[in-house]
Amino acid sequence: MKTPSLPPPLWGQLFALTDSTGLPLQTRLRLKVVQAILDGHLSAGAALPSSRHLAEVLKLSRNTVTAVYQQMIDEGYLESRVRSGVFVRAQACPGPVVDARRLVDPFSAEMPGPAAELPQWSPRVLRSLRRQPTLSKPQHWREFPYPFIYGTHDAQLFPTEDFRECCVRTLARSQLSNWTPDFEVDDAPDLIDQIRTRLLPKRGVFAQPEEILITVGAQHAFHLVAEALFDTATRVGFEDPGYPHARNVFSLRTSALVGIPVDAEGLVVDALPALDYVFVTPSHQSPTTRTLSLERRQWLLRKAALQDFVVIEDDYEAENLYEGDPMPALKSLDKTGRVIYIGSVSKNLSPALRLGYIVAQKALIAELRVLRHAMVRHPSAFLQQAYALFLSLGYHDAHARRVNHVLSQRMDATQKAMARHLPGFACTVAQGGASVWVKAPDWLDGGALALRARRHGVLVEPGDVFFASPPRPCPYFRLRLSSIEAAKIEPGIHALRRAVDEMVRELV
């Protein structure tokens, strides 16, 4: 029996096309029809309006509606009946799932009362980070006009056409065999080759394919290293202040994290006690942006050999250099295989892409491959292949140049705005990177300022999360420049000044 059709006015409501998705008209109409079927608004056998009628209701071309209908007929959602019209196919709707709560449980009478209670998870969770300080931002941070924070792509700079081209080419039938098979413990050979021949030589690093492992971003690399090499008593030296995400990952495996001070030349190597590993961000120290001097790099590697420890190098933002010559990576100076090098191929493009890598001796990489297989098997093979093409066509380098040019302008605008509106605040003058580390007057707490600044539409990163044991008050905060337009920097700093003025008045 034919299911009654909806009254004409309701078709327009059910299939109303919104502009919020940014998809083409044909795709948006398909989306609406599929949703109506899968959500149960159109049951099996329900008649759809004719293509002519729906086109009139939605003010679309009839060809657009016909194309959507035909595509969904081919895919088994709809069926065409001669001289009757188009209907929802019986097999298009998922069948109902039996409510397990209504089934008779033969053991229910035997269950004692306490066993029916929900499990208590707190005593069962053996490794928790819920109470560890970390970088975070409000859920609706995009609604703030002045976001001096990290965590998104730059809409003005994202190479949409270039990246789309690489994704489309990767989807070509001739390319499917390069990424559709299960990689097991392997990686896309093309990406390994691009990292080995294009990226690493710029940092003075030369590696064989078996010495490189692809990861789901740098944090995955930290986790792999900690899981493979640390136990509860492993002594790990850590920059203080330092990168909180790495510190938190390491704290899951060892409680012997040792803070090492940093100064204008980066990690204070002379302050190193007896350790098993040292984590360092030498290119642009996180968060101070200081660059580890060549003399200290050489002394750190010398100490590693003398004291028998291993260096974990996070080559954070190494490509973001605005002036001067790039400092060679620690790994490039490593003659004894004591440096585990961690890099990212996607950070400049978007942190959401999650593509990083580890360079180390092949014996360690072989172990990490098996460990990675147990965790995530391997990172997206499609994304690896697409990014290999992005690198090989020169798009990565071109994008990096654009990013450096724009960030250099933003850095200059930030320095001038801080000098104009907050002259009593000391800023690190960075040669690169995408952030400014700020030292406020001693009375001001960066966390309290961050909360007050939100009222004025400003988001900053409080400094206390970077310290293992922050001072109280902690007069530091960080301004990230990757998520804010250059034109908004000066008014954003001016709004931050208003927040500071409010805090000053409250002290009086």
Identify whether the C-beta of residue 417 lies closer than 8 Å to the C-beta of residue 490. Answer: yes
pLDDT of residue 429: 75
Alpha carbons 383 and 152: distance in angstroms, whole number: 18
**Residues ≥6 apart with Cβ < 8 Å to 205:** 329, 331, 332, 341, 359
Mean pLDDT of 423-452: 91
- Among 326, 358, 393, residue at a domain's last position: 393
The distance from CA 291 to its chain's CA centroid, rounded to whole angstroms, is 24
380 and 405 share a domain?
Answer: no
- Among 377, 393, 409, residue at a domain's last position: 393
Helix (H) or strand (E) holding 278: strand 277-280
Q: Classify residue 105: in a domain, yes or no.
A: no
For the cut 50, the answer to whether the pLDDT of residue 3 exceeds it is no
**Residues ≥6 apart with Cβ < 8 Å to 82:** none
For the cut 50, the answer to whether the pLDDT of residue 243 exceeds it is yes
Alpha carbons 268 and 289: distance in angstroms, whole number: 14
Range of the domain at 447: 141-150+398-507
CATH number, domain of 356, equals 3.40.640.10
- 318 closest CA partner among 403, 413, 438, 248: 403
Provide the 3-class DSSP secondary structure of residue 342: strand
Specify whether the backbone of 193 is left (phi greater than 0), alpha (psi in -120 to 50) or beta: alpha
Range with the poorest average pLDDT among 190-204, 296-310, 315-329, 430-444? 315-329
Q: Based on C-alpha coordinates, what's the Rg of the chain?
A: 28
Pure H helices in 380-438: 381-392, 395-421
Q: Classify residue 434: in a domain, yes or no.
A: yes
pLDDT of residue 22: 73
Q: Classify residue 120: in a domain, yes or no.
A: no
Count of beta carbons in the 10 Å neighbourhood of residue 327:
22
pLDDT of residue 1: 42
55 and 81 share a domain?
Answer: yes
Mean pLDDT of 442-471: 95
Provide the 3-class DSSP secondary structure of residue 135: coil
Alpha carbons 506 and 508: distance in angstroms, whole number: 6
For the cut 60, the answer to whether the pLDDT of residue 361 exceeds it is yes
Supply 368's token pair. 């990490």
Predicted TM-score of the model (pTM) = 0.86
Mean pLDDT of 167-190: 91
270 and 345 share a domain?
Answer: yes
Mean pLDDT of 455-484: 94
pLDDT of residue 2: 47
318 and 337 share a domain?
Answer: yes
171 and 310 share a domain?
Answer: yes
Alpha carbons 11 and 18: distance in angstroms, whole number: 14
Q: Sorting pLDDT into bands at 50, 70 and 90, what band is 112?
A: low
Exposure of 473 by Cβ count < 10 A (0-12 exposed, 13-18 middle, 19+ buried)? middle
405 and 385 share a domain?
Answer: no
Q: Classify residue 364: in a domain, yes or no.
A: yes
258 and 304 share a domain?
Answer: yes
CATH number, domain of 63, equals 1.10.10.10
Angle CA 335–250–280, to nearest 5: 40
pLDDT of residue 445: 96
339 and 411 share a domain?
Answer: no
CATH number, domain of 428, equals 3.90.1150.10
Mean pLDDT of 491-499: 97
Helix (H) or strand (E) holding 461: strand 461-462
Alpha carbons 2 and 508: distance in angstroms, whole number: 79
Return the HEC string of 142-185: HHCCEECCCCCCCCCCCCHHHHHHHHHHHCCHHHHHHHCCCCCC
337 and 484 share a domain?
Answer: no
For the cut 50, the answer to whether the pLDDT of residue 202 exceeds it is yes
The CA distances from residue 348 to 109, 256, 290, 332, 407, in Å, are: 60, 33, 19, 22, 11
345 and 479 share a domain?
Answer: no
Alpha carbons 57 and 51: distance in angstroms, whole number: 10
More confident residue, 348 or 226: 226
Mean pLDDT of 228-242: 96
Mean pLDDT of 271-291: 94
Q: Which residue is listed with tokens 């409680």? A: 255
For the cut 90, the answer to whether the pLDDT of residue 102 exceeds it is no
Q: Classify residue 329: in a domain, yes or no.
A: yes
Supply 324's token pair. 């001067």
Mean pLDDT of 301-311: 96
DSSP letters spanning 287-318: TT-PPPPHHHHHHHHHHHHHHT-EEEEE-TTT
pLDDT of residue 419: 95
Alpha carbons 199 and 315: distance in angstroms, whole number: 12
**Residues ≥6 apart with Cβ < 8 Å to 401:** none
267 and 304 share a domain?
Answer: yes
- 65 closest CA partner among 12, 21, 2: 12
- Among 393, 428, 443, residue at a domain's last position: 393
The distance from CA 166 to its chain's CA centroid, rounded to whole angstroms, is 20
Angle CA 131–135–136, to nearest 5: 90
353 and 425 share a domain?
Answer: no
Percent of the chain with pLDDT over 90: 64
Q: In whole numbers, what is the pLDDT of the chain averaged over residues? A: 89
**Residues ≥6 apart with Cβ < 8 Å to 379:** 187, 214, 215, 216, 354, 355
For the cut 60, the answer to whether the pLDDT of residue 406 exceeds it is yes
For the cut 50, the answer to whether the pLDDT of residue 226 exceeds it is yes
Count how many domains the chain has. 3
Exposure of 221 by Cβ count < 10 A (0-12 exposed, 13-18 middle, 19+ buried)? buried
Mean pLDDT of 376-396: 93
Q: Classify residue 263: in a domain, yes or no.
A: yes
pLDDT of residue 101: 61
Q: Classify residue 487: in a domain, yes or no.
A: yes
Q: Which residues pair with 354 in a beta bridge?
A: none
Q: Sorting pLDDT into bands at 50, 70 and 90, what band is 130?
A: confident
Q: Sorting pLDDT into bands at 50, 70 and 90, what band is 434?
A: confident
Supply 467's token pair. 């310290």
Count of beta carbons in the 10 Å neighbourhood of residue 273:
9
Q: Classify residue 119: in a domain, yes or no.
A: no
Count of beta carbons in the 10 Å neighbourhood of residue 228:
14
